[in-house]
Structure 1
Amino acid sequence: MADLIDSVGQLLREAAATVVLPSFRHLAEGDIEEKVPGEVVTVADRRAETLIADGLRALLPESVVVGEEGVAADPSVLDLLREPGPVWIVDPIDGTGNFAAGHGPFAIMAALVRGGAPVAAWILDPLAGTLAVAESGSGAYVDGVRAALPDDASRPLRGAAMNRFLPADLRARVRRGLTAIDEVLPGLHCAGREYVDIVTGAQDFVLFWRTLPWDHVPGALLVHEAGGAVRRLDGGQYDPTADGYGLLAAANEATWQRVHATLLS
Structure 2
Amino acid sequence: MQKASEEAIMPHYRDLNADEITNKASDDVVTVADHASEKILTEGLAKLEPGIAIVGEEASFADPGVLEGLNGDCWIVDPLDGTNNFALGKPPFGILLARASGGVARSGWIYDCLTGRFCSVHEGEGAFLDGERITARESGETPPVAAISLVFMHEEQREAVKERVAPHYRLVDIPRCAAEQYPRLALGINDVSIFQRTLAWDHAAGALWLNEAGGKVARPDGSPYRVNDERTGMLGASSPRLWEELAARCGDIG
TM-score interval (norm. to shorter) = over 0.9
- State the partner residue of 2:102: 115
RMSD: 1.7
Return the letter of the residue paired with 1:54. Answer: E
Displacement, 1:147?
0.9
- Per mean C-alpha deviation after superposition, the further-off stretch among 54-63 and 102-111 is 54-63
Letter in 2 for 1:76: G
Q: Distance in 2 between matches of 1:190 and 1:263?
A: 22
Partner of 1:41: 30
What secondary structure is seen at the aligned counterpart in 2 of 1:222?
helix
Counterpart for residue 238 of structure 1: 225
Q: Distance in 2 between matches of 1:14 and 1:212?
A: 24
Q: Secondary structure at the match of 1:217?
A: helix
Unpaired runs of 5+ residues, structure 1, are 1-11
**Contact preservation (8 Å) 1:42, 1:100:** yes
| Structure 1 contact 158–181 (Cα < 8 Å) conserved | no
Residue pair 2:81, 2:96 contacting (<8 A) in 1 also: yes
Deviation at 1:218, TM superposition (A): 0.8
- State the distance in 2 between where 1:120 and 1:179 align: 33
In structure 1, distance between residues paired with 2:141 and 2:16? 46
Aligned-pair distance for 1:225? 0.6
- Find out whether 1:255 has 2:242 as its counterpart: yes
Is the Cα contact below 8 Å between 1:88 and 1:111 reproduced in 2? yes
Pairing 1:50–2:60 present: no
3-state DSSP class of the match of 2:217?
strand
1:75: which partner in 2?
64
Using the TM superposition, give the Cα deviation of residue 164 of structure 1 relative to its aligned residue in structure 2, in angstroms.
1.6
Report the counterpart of residue 189 of structure 1 in structure 2: 176
- Report how far residue 156 of structure 1 moved: 3.5
Aligned partners of 2:138 and 2:150: how far apart in 1?
27
Task: Give the match for residue 211 of structure 1.
Answer: 198
Identity of aligned residues (%): 36
Structure 1 position 154, deviation (Å): 8.9
Please, what TM-score do these two structures have when normalized by structure 1?
0.90
Match of 1:9?
none
TM-score by length of 2: 0.94
Looking at structure 2, the residues matched to 129 and 248 of structure 1 have their Cα atoms a distance apart, in angstroms, of 27
- CA deviations 1:180-207 (Å, max 9, x no partner) are 2342111111112101111222111111
Tell me the residue number matched to 1:173: 160
Query: Contact between 1:191 and 1:215, CA under 8 Å: does it hold in 2?
Result: yes
SS at match of 1:55: helix
For 1:217 and 1:52, the matched residues in 2 are separated by 16
Once residues 97 and 89 of structure 2 are traced to their aligned partners in structure 1, the CA distance between those partners, rounded to angstroms, is 23
User: Partner amino acid for 1:37?
Assistant: S
**Pair 1:201-2:198 in alignment:** no
What secondary structure sits across from 1:164 in the alignment? coil
2:7 aligns with 18
Q: What is the distance in 2 between the residues matched to 1:216 and 1:36?
A: 20
Q: How far apart, CA to CA, are the structure 1 residues paired with 2:139 and 2:80?
A: 33
Aligned residues of 1:153 and 1:254 also touching (Cα < 8 A): no
- Aligned AA for 2:164? G
- Describe the SS at the equivalent of 2:50: coil
Q: Which residue of 1 aligns with 2:49?
A: 60
Equivalent residue of 2:40, what SS?
helix
2:41 and 2:161 map into 1 onto residues whose CA distance is: 37
State whether residues 25 and 102 of structure 1, in contact with CA within 8 Å, keep that contact through their aligned partners in structure 2. Answer: yes
Q: 1:234 to 1:50 in 2, by over 3 A?
A: same
Q: Indicate which of 187, 207, 210 corresponds to 1:220.
A: 207
Query: Residue type of the partner of 1:170?
Result: Q
Give the number of aligned pairs: 252
